[in-house]
Amino acid sequence: MTVQLHAHARAFPIGGPIVEVHDISLNFGGVKALTKISFDVREHEVRAIIGPNGAGKSSMLNVINGVYRPQAGSIVLRGERLAAMTPRRAAHMGIARTFQNIALFKGMTVLDNIMAGSNLRMHANFLEVAFRLPRALREARECREAAEEIIEFLEIEHIRKTPVGRLPYGLQKRVELGRALAATPQVLLLDEPMAGMNIEEKQDMCRFILDVNDHYGTTVILIEHDMGVVMDISDRVVVLDYGKKIGDGTPEEVRSNQDVIDAYLGVAH
Amino acid sequence: MAPQELQADTFPKLLMHQARTRGDRPAVREKSRGIWQTLTWRDLADETVALAAGLAERGLQRGGHVALIGDNRPRLYAALCATQWLGAVAVPLYQDASAAELLDPMRNAEITHIFAEDQEQVDKLLEILPQLPAVTTIIYDQDRGMRHYRQPQLVSHADLLTQGRALLAARRDALDAEAALGRGSDPAALFFTAGTTGQAKAVVLSHGALINRARTAAAMENLRDTDVTMAYLPPAWIGQHMFGYAQPMVVGFCVCCPESPETMLADMREIGPTYFVAPPKVLESLLAQVSVRMEDAGRIKRSLYQYFMALARRVGVPLLSGQAVPLGDRLVYRLGDMLMYGPLRDVLGMSRVRLAYTAGEAIGPDLLLYFRALGVNLKQLYGATETGIFVCVQPDGEVKPDSVGTATDGVELKFTAQRELLVRSPGLFSGYHGDADATRLAIDADGWFHTGDAGWLGDDGQLRIIDRVQDVGALADGSLFAPKYLENKLKFFPFVKEAVAIGAGRDEVCMVVSIDAGAVGNWADRHNIAYSGYADLASRDEVQVLIADCVGKMNAELAQDPALASLQVHRFLLLHKELEADDGELTRTGKLRRVVIGERYQALVDALYARRDSVRIDAQVRYEDGRQGTISADLKICRAPTFAAAPLPMPTRKAA
């Protein structure tokens, strides 16, 4: 795969830290999912979290997103220290995500699913919507416009009116990305966006992730299994193994890190 | 026709005329972000002249050549006309051609300016740019992903337009004078021939030739400015240019561009065109979709469909041609129209179609009659890039499936001893660009164009085309062998995507067939046949029996006619892949390249005639990203049931 983007000047230059996690520890009973993890994510960068199965990658994402509450440590979002994040608060603060196993409304159309993603920006109350009062109509129109822009961006015009449940897996993943984008997030969390895809679908998805980052300046934090994909599209990579951070740096640095090589290839005992 | 319109001898003059006389009527519509956006004739003219100002500033001169690569969209039409405004020649190219395929045409046409639709096209151009020193400007339409490109040749369409609008106040008079300088005899556009045989040639067509043909056909079919058509075929094809650019310019009707190729059918249903053009390939795939969906339908719907389609073929076809039909039949047909034909036309987006053409390739009679039976006035026309399309058109009421119609106004036809058709018409091309020798070979001293097609003129004045002169052959027993006829016949079955008939100089006819992945896949699903991919599907015994059944039915029909009985297909094999334009097996318009196919599959043909049971093939394939790979497969050779020639009533199986 040859995706050259960062060789060029970026429209949104990488800024200061937007998300910082400090000494996060998370236990499930006696199982230590995460142990004293610290790293930062800078504004407008593509940050990957990688690691073997069970390394704690999804747990890490769930902590950032407020689904899990860590026993120790804190999250700093745009300079603001938060002891505990909740999913709703995360959404309000501009964090959107996609899920490892697709979480869409299967019976609804692609368009409706994407429009559902901008739910937080709608302020009209039940009665305004029921009686089609001006604010409700205006919001509905803006919401549709935003959704159409995303549909065009992700090149899914042909399935606009198709119920999501009837779509193949690769397209459902793309719709899920669209739903997350509809929230106009500043930080986008992607949980294994390429899992289970064939090579062509992976290439498409890579392109879309880079385009989102490039076009909207969205900061992307992604979890990925496929090392090749990660190395091609991320600016910096965090490597987790058994809940501990074993590497952090640019793809080149990580690739030559002995601990990372050991974790992926195993060590002779 | 208004005298002013008759004076307009170039496309820019026609555009100004349309902007003056029907400025508020829609010229181009495009679906964008789910909504149809309209550009009126006045908008189009304003945009065109501003673009021309920008192009002039960028150094485009009279006689220069401008390449256009991209899908049908309003900006493409404005770019076409802006090019011609300055007296330059428009060169539309196929947008799915690879970088390497673009290089030759670009060099051949001495391109200086290029309109490219998006990043994908720009990337291809930048790849070959070092070999094209004459190119000074590349104008890109969609700026997505283009932010990082720093090449000095690049400029965005929007920027060029803004620049042009700013210059307009000062230059309007000079620009109008420039447009007035244009003459009908000036070259308007350059098209590359389909290239079924050898290298593609650059055909130069003048404003006069294109406008003459557009006007003649529009008058004959009574086209009006209230007509609506869809522009969804490659703009590099002369047909798309004629129906989507030349004719709207002459008549003033509206062209609609779909949102994306995938949404074409849905967009067409929304627009409801009154004038529709489709190559047989598109009609085949429409029919295949209908057939597949009918197979999935419940028993009542299926029997309704079968009953009414049989009726339609018997009653609908003559009814559409204005022939007398018994009252009872007519009433039942009306019922069918309510229950089935109407809804089906609606599903196909053809509810309002008043006139439909099929062009670009010969159409199988069954396919033509299918649509006519439904009440769609689908007609065949005959023409080539070199003739500005319209040579013959089937006149209303005299559509015969085996003919391509009568000569249009201004066209003269004659035949050589080898039955080759010669054409003389005001719509002929001016020559092949930069190839005077080829031009002399194609147009003789008396102005006759040698089409390369074999045919004859019936007593009814209608032209019948047999095949390409070089493809028409004879079997070993001397009976006439026209491969295209057989191929089209077999392709009527939805399971068959492509077929290549072989038989010239042989004792029997054999065929190489590629199955339609969609239709056969659906059939396999319903019969619980598991398969992993195309090659696996094509190698299944059940599928081979299925296709043998189709070939058998075709043979049974051939056997009915003593003249055709010897053309029955005895053996065939199913290819492990579809024939692809990317592999050079088809032209970009989907015609078979027999020479390439013959060379590549020589081993298969030999095995077919050696009567072996199977053959191994190692084929080179080219992937979409340009990489090469090899696929090897064992292909089984299948026998098809053949029948004794009529009038024997009972089909008897011959030992093959």
Strand, coil or helix: what is B540?
A: coil
Residue B242 maps to a domain = no
Q: How many domains does chain B have?
A: 3
CA gap A215, A220 in Å, rounded: 12
- B32: which chain A residues are within 8 Å (Cβ-Cβ)? 152
What pTM was estimated for this model as a whole?
0.80
- Residue ending a domain, among B150, B182, B210, is B210
The better pLDDT of the pair A242, B654 is held by A242
Same domain, B458 and B515: no
If you measure CA to CA, which chain A residue comes closest to B623?
A200
- Picking from B35, B145, B263, the nearest residue to A158 by CB comes out as B263
- Picking from A144, A145, A157, the nearest residue to B259 by CB comes out as A157
Question: Which of A109, A110, A151, A158 to substitute to test the interface with B, most B CBs within 10 Å?
Answer: A158
Residue B198 maps to a domain = yes
Same domain, B572 and B626: yes
- A157: which chain B residues are within 8 Å (Cβ-Cβ)? 34, 259-260, 262-263
Residue-level pLDDT at A9: 60
Q: Are residues A9 and B148, on separate chains, in Cβ contact within 8 Å?
A: yes
If you measure CA to CA, which chain A residue comes closest to B34?
A148
Residue-level pLDDT at B655: 40
B221: Cα separation from own chain's centroid: 20
> Chain A closest CA to B263's CA: distance in Å?
5
Answer yes or no: is pLDDT of B416 > 60.
Answer: yes
Residue B347 maps to a domain = no
Angle among Cα B149, B155, B159 to the nearest 5 degrees reads 125
Tens of pLDDT, residues B72-118: 999 999 999 999 999 999 999 999 888 988 998 899 899 999 999 99
- A152: which chain B residues are within 8 Å (Cβ-Cβ)? 32-33
Q: Are residues B260 and A8, on separate chains, in Cβ contact within 8 Å?
A: no
Q: Are residues A152 and B33, on separate chains, in Cβ contact within 8 Å?
A: yes
**The B154-156 sheet, strands edge to edge:** B154-156, B137-140, B111-116, B65-69, B89-93, B187-192, B202-206, B431-432
Tens of pLDDT, residues A80-123: 887 667 888 888 888 998 888 788 999 999 999 999 988 777 78
CA gap B80, B422 in Å, rounded: 31
Can you give the length of chain A in residues?
269
Q: Are residues B34 and A157, on separate chains, in Cβ contact within 8 Å?
A: yes
Q: Are residues B34 and A160, on separate chains, in Cβ contact within 8 Å?
A: yes
Answer yes or no: is pLDDT of A253 > 70.
Answer: yes
| DSSP assignment of B376-396 | --EEEEE--GGGTS-SEEPPT
Residue B648 maps to a domain = no
Q: Are residues A155 and B263, on separate chains, in Cβ contact within 8 Å?
A: no
What number of C-beta contacts closer than 8 Å exist between A and B? 36
Which ipTM value was assigned to this complex?
A: 0.73
- Picking from B33, B145, B150, the nearest residue to A148 by CB comes out as B33
Q: Are residues A157 and B144, on separate chains, in Cβ contact within 8 Å?
A: no
Same domain, B441 and B479: no
Q: Are residues A158 and B262, on separate chains, in Cβ contact within 8 Å?
A: yes
- Picking from B32, B145, B262, the nearest residue to A211 by CB comes out as B145
- Picking from A8, A144, A149, the nearest residue to B148 by CB comes out as A8
Determine the structural domain holding residue B584 and report its residue range. Answer: 473-639
Alpha helix (H) residue ranges in B408-450: 436-442
If you measure CA to CA, which chain B residue comes closest to A10?
B148
If you measure CA to CA, which chain B residue comes closest to A210?
B145
Q: Are residues A157 and B148, on separate chains, in Cβ contact within 8 Å?
A: no
Q: Which helix (H) or strand (E) holds B165?
A: helix B157-181
Residue B365 maps to a domain = no
Q: Quote the tokens at residue A125.
A: 């109350």
Same domain, B43 and B182: yes
Residue-level pLDDT at B614: 85
To the nearest whole number, what is the mean pLDDT of chain B? 89
Residue B577 maps to a domain = yes
Read off the CATH number of the domain in which B631 is found.
3.30.300.30
Same domain, B58 and B87: yes
Instruction: Say which residues have a Cβ less than 8 Å from residue B648's Cβ, sequence separation at least 6.
Output: none
Answer yes or no: is pLDDT of A5 > 60.
Answer: no
Strand, coil or helix: what is B435?
A: coil
Same domain, B405 and B486: no
CA gap B44, A102 in Å, rounded: 45
Same domain, B24 and B167: yes
If you measure CA to CA, which chain A residue comes closest to B33?
A148
- Residue ending a domain, among B210, B229, B253, is B210
Place of tokens 């979480």: A103
- Residue ending a domain, among B414, B442, B469, is B469
Instruction: Say which residues have a Cβ less than 8 Å from residue B34's Cβ, sequence separation at least 6.
Output: A144, A148, A151, A157, A160, B259
Answer yes or no: is pLDDT of B177 > 60.
Answer: yes
For A29, phi then psi, to 5°, come to 60, -120
Domain ranges of chain A: 1-94+186-269, 102-184
> Chain B closest CA to A158's CA: distance in Å?
5
Tens of pLDDT, residues A237-246: 999 988 899 9
Dihedral Cα B330, B333, B338, B340, nearest 10 deg: -170
Contact present, A186 and A95 (Cβ < 8 Å):
yes
Which option is the CATH number for A1-94+186-269: 3.40.50.150, 3.30.450.80, 3.40.50.300, 3.60.9.10?
3.40.50.300
- B266: which chain A residues are within 8 Å (Cβ-Cβ)? 158, 161
Residue B255 maps to a domain = no
Same domain, B459 and B513: no
Tens of pLDDT, residues B545-588: 999 999 999 999 888 877 788 889 999 999 988 888 878 888 87
Same domain, B453 and B481: no
Q: What percent of chain A has pLDDT over 70?
A: 94
- B147: which chain A residues are within 8 Å (Cβ-Cβ)? 8, 11, 214
CA gap B221, B393 in Å, rounded: 10
- Picking from A5, A9, A215, the nearest residue to B144 by CB comes out as A215
Residues of B with CB under 8 A from a CB of A: 32-35, 144-145, 147-148, 150, 259-260, 262-263, 266
Same domain, B18 and B158: yes
If you measure CA to CA, which chain A residue comes closest to B144?
A215
Tens of pLDDT, residues B359-384: 877 787 888 999 999 999 999 999 99
In B111-129, which positions are buried (b, 16+ CB within 10 angstroms) versus exposed (e)?
bbbbbbbbbebbebbbebb
> Chain A closest CA to B127's CA: distance in Å?
15
The better pLDDT of the pair B7, A26 is held by A26
Same domain, B64 and B119: yes
* Residue among A187, A190, A183, A181 at smallest CA distance from A102: A190
Tens of pLDDT, residues A140-179: 899 999 999 999 999 999 999 999 999 988 899 999 999 9
Residue B618 maps to a domain = yes
Which residues in B131-176 belong to E strands, given as ranges? 137-140, 154-156
Same domain, B477 and B454: no
3-state SS of chain A is CCCCCCCCCCCCCCCCEEEEEEEEEEEECCEEEEEEEEEEEECCCEEEEECCCCCCHHHHHHHHHCCCCCCEEEEEECCEEECCCCHHHHHHCCEEEECCCCCCCCCCEHHHHHHHCCHHHCCCCHHHHHCCCHHHHHHHHHHHHHHHHHHHHCCCHHHCCCEHHHCCHHHHHHHHHHHHHCCCCCEEEEECCCCCCCHHHHHHHHHHHHHHHHHHCCEEEEECCCHHHHHHHCCEEEEEECCEEEEEECHHHHHCCHHHHHHHHCCCC
